């Protein structure tokens, strides 16, 4: 039976988030779907070409409507502009939700794609006060734990207040979707409803090899390439990664970091001071090309600091690495560490012991090709059994039947 589904999200196509896949899956099932989002401006901070207050702000298809609401773009990404972006979208969504309540036929389901902040969860609650609608909350950024881990909130009083607010917000929802099993340890203290494990998957262009171009990353001969793709920041423990690069300078190891972030300048400065460092920095790569880059690597790097909520987080790049049959060097703890060990797709190193970490990396890169290939194949097999997008599609479709 055809359902009417309302989706609230901060980010939607052409921005690259997993909600794009979920919307497509629902649309494939012939349900009517409306996406309420903002004019795309992430991550660069400016409205994407071809999108503004007048262009593509309201798009109608046979079974899908996309409403891109006016916002103040993130611009340079300073705290002020980010806050203004959040507030402007909250205000736009508030008035648009009133419009939906008054003029639009009732929706059967509401799906909230929560990245950050939880302001986006308020309007579905408001909608639910007037209509009995099943509400699904896809929790991707647990507050206040994320803010605490990033050092944004240090006051215990504020932490307690935010926890109480989130507990109240969750109480209005019928289902919570979580990307890490360890999130359940936190949410069980705040929520008595259904919590469903809904882990990440990699992008369709990677999973199905839809698009591939030839990429040549020039590195010294007879070297093994370790590649990282993602945010190059402090939360990803790049202080320690840079130490590893320096300690392996005499080994046949070359490091490639793809992406942007606050620590990238530090790496550039280190390269200026020591041009013998075997590091190459590349800018952010579009999704339809990332496969071509990662396939050039011998090993991939997964890194995240282990404090607080990070210990319970599984970065989405792990699924990408595993899908592409690339052995993983995990500078990480918690659930991601457990996945790497359980799947036997790589090694775990520890930032508290650089000597041991360097030894493990050298031992790994010197394995013969057959053993390296086996590690990659183990990851691919585990991905197909636990993370493949077809599994997530079945789960989301089952929820709205």
| Tokens of residue 168, six digits | 């109240």
**What's the rounded mean pLDDT across residues 24-52?**
94
Question: What does the angle CA 114 – CA 88 – CA 68 come to, to the nearest 5 degrees?
Answer: 70
Please state, in angstroms and rounded to a whole number, the distance separating the CA atoms of residues 349 and 267: 21
What pLDDT shows up at residue 149? 85
**What average pLDDT is seen over the chain?**
94
Residue 213 clears pLDDT 80, i.e. is over it: no
Domain 4-201+388-399: CATH class, spelled out: alpha beta
Torsions phi, psi of 253, nearest 5?
-130, 135
| Tokens of residue 401, six digits | 């039947």
Radius of gyration of the chain (CA): 22
Q: What is the DSSP string of 346-374?
A: EEE--TT-HHHHHHHHHHHHTS-HHHHHH
Q: Are 149 and 310 in contact (CB under 8 A)?
A: yes
DSSP state of 105: P
Examine domains 4-201+388-399 and 205-386 and report if their fold is the same.
yes
What pLDDT shows up at residue 251? 95
pLDDT digits over 368-391, tens only?
A: 999 999 999 999 999 999 999 999
Torsions phi, psi of 279, nearest 5?
-135, 140
With CA atoms as reference, report the closest residue to 366 among 299, 302, 288, 301: 299
- pLDDT bucket at 214, cuts 50 / 70 / 90: confident
The alpha carbon of residue 238 and the mean position of all alpha carbons in its chain are separated, in whole angstroms, by: 18
pLDDT digits over 218-249, tens only?
A: 888 899 999 999 999 888 999 999 999 999 99
DSSP state of 48: P
Please state, in angstroms and rounded to a whole number, the distance separating the CA atoms of residues 38 and 72: 9
Q: Which residues pair with 6 in a beta bridge?
A: 34, 110
- CATH number for the segment(s) 205-386: 3.40.50.2000
What pLDDT shows up at residue 211? 63
DSSP state of 302: E
Please state, in angstroms and rounded to a whole number, the distance separating the CA atoms of residues 5 and 30: 11
Torsions phi, psi of 37, nearest 5?
-145, -170
Sheet with 279-282, strands from edge to edge, namely 279-282, 253-258, 224-229, 299-303, 328-331, 346-348
Q: Are 21 and 287 in contact (CB under 8 A)?
A: no
What pLDDT shows up at residue 118? 94
What pLDDT shows up at residue 9? 98
Q: Are 10 and 115 in contact (CB under 8 A)?
A: yes
pLDDT digits over 145-154, tens only?
A: 988 988 888 8
Give me the residue label for tokens 């075997």. 278
Please state, in angstroms and rounded to a whole number, the distance separating the CA atoms of residues 65 and 32: 8
**What's the rounded mean pLDDT across residues 335-347?**
97
Look at the pTM and tell me if it is higher than 0.85. Answer: yes
Residue 212 clears pLDDT 70, i.e. is over it: no
User: Measuring CA to CA, how many Å separate 92 from each of 82, 84, 85, 172, 335?
Assistant: 15, 12, 11, 22, 37
Task: Please report, for the chain, the start and end positions of each structural domain, with discontinuous segments joined by +.
Answer: 4-201+388-399, 205-386
Please indicate whether residue 289 or residue 8 has the higher confidence score (pLDDT).
Answer: 8
Burial label, 136 (beta-carbon count in 10 A; 0-12, 13-18, 19+): buried
* Across 87-96, 259-268, 283-292, 345-354, least confident range: 283-292
With CA atoms as reference, report the closest residue to 181 among 337, 25, 329: 337
The alpha carbon of residue 340 and the mean position of all alpha carbons in its chain are separated, in whole angstroms, by: 18
pLDDT digits over 300-311, tens only?
A: 999 998 877 888
pLDDT digits over 39-81, tens only?
A: 999 988 999 999 998 899 999 998 999 999 999 999 987 889 9
* Across 25-29, 166-170, 204-208, least confident range: 204-208
What pLDDT shows up at residue 393? 96
How many residues does this entry show for the chain? 401
């Amino acid at each position: 039976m055809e359902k009417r589904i309302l989706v609230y999200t901060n980010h939607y196509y052409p921005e690259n988030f997993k909600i794009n896949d979920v919307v497509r899956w629902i649309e494939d099932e012939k349900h009517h779907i409306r996406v309420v989002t903002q004019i795309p401006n992430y991550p660069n901070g400016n409205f994407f070409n071809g999108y503004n207050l007048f262009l593509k702000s309201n798009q109608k298809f046979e079974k899908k409507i996309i409403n891109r609401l006016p916002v103040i773009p993130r611009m340079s990404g300073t705290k002020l502009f980010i806050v203004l972006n959040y507030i402007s979208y909250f205000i736009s969504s508030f008035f648009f939700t009133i419009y939906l309540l008054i003029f639009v036929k009732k929706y059967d389901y509401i799906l909230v794609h929560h990245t950050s902040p939880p302001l986006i969860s308020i309007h579905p609650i408001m909608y639910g006060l007037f209509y009995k609608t099943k509400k699904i909350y896809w929790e991707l950024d647990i507050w206040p734990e994320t803010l605490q881990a990033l050092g944004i909130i240090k006051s215990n009083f504020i932490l307690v207040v935010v926890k109480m607010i989130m507990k109240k917000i969750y109480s209005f929802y019928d289902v919570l979707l979580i990307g890490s099993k360890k999130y359940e340890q936190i949410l069980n203290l705040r929520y008595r409803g259904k919590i469903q494990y809904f882990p990440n998957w990699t992008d369709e262009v990677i999973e199905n090899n839809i698009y591939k171009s030839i990429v040549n990353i020039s590195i010294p001969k007879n070297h093994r390439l370790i590649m990282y793709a993602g945010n190059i920041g402090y939360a990803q423990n790049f202080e320690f990664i840079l130490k590893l690069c320096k300690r392996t300078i005499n080994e046949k190891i070359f490091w490639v970091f793809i992406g942007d972030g606050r620590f990238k300048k530090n790496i550039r400065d280190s390269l200026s001071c020591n041009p013998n460092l075997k590091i190459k920095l590349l800018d952010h790569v579009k999704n339809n090309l990332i496969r071509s880059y990662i396939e050039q690597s011998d090993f991939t790097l997964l890194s995240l600091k282990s404090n607080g909520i990070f210990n319970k987080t599984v970065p989405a790049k792990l699924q990408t690495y595993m899908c592409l049959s690339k052995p993983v060097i995990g500078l990480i703890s918690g659930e991601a560490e457990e996945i790497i060990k359980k799947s036997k797709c790589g090694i775990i190193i520890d930032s508290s012991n650089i000597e041991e970490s360097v030894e493990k990396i050298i031992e790994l890169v010197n394995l013969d090709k057959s053993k390296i290939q086996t590690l990659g194949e183990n990851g691919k097999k585990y991905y197909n059994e636990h993370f493949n997008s077809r599994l997530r599609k079945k789960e989301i479709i089952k929820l709205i039947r």
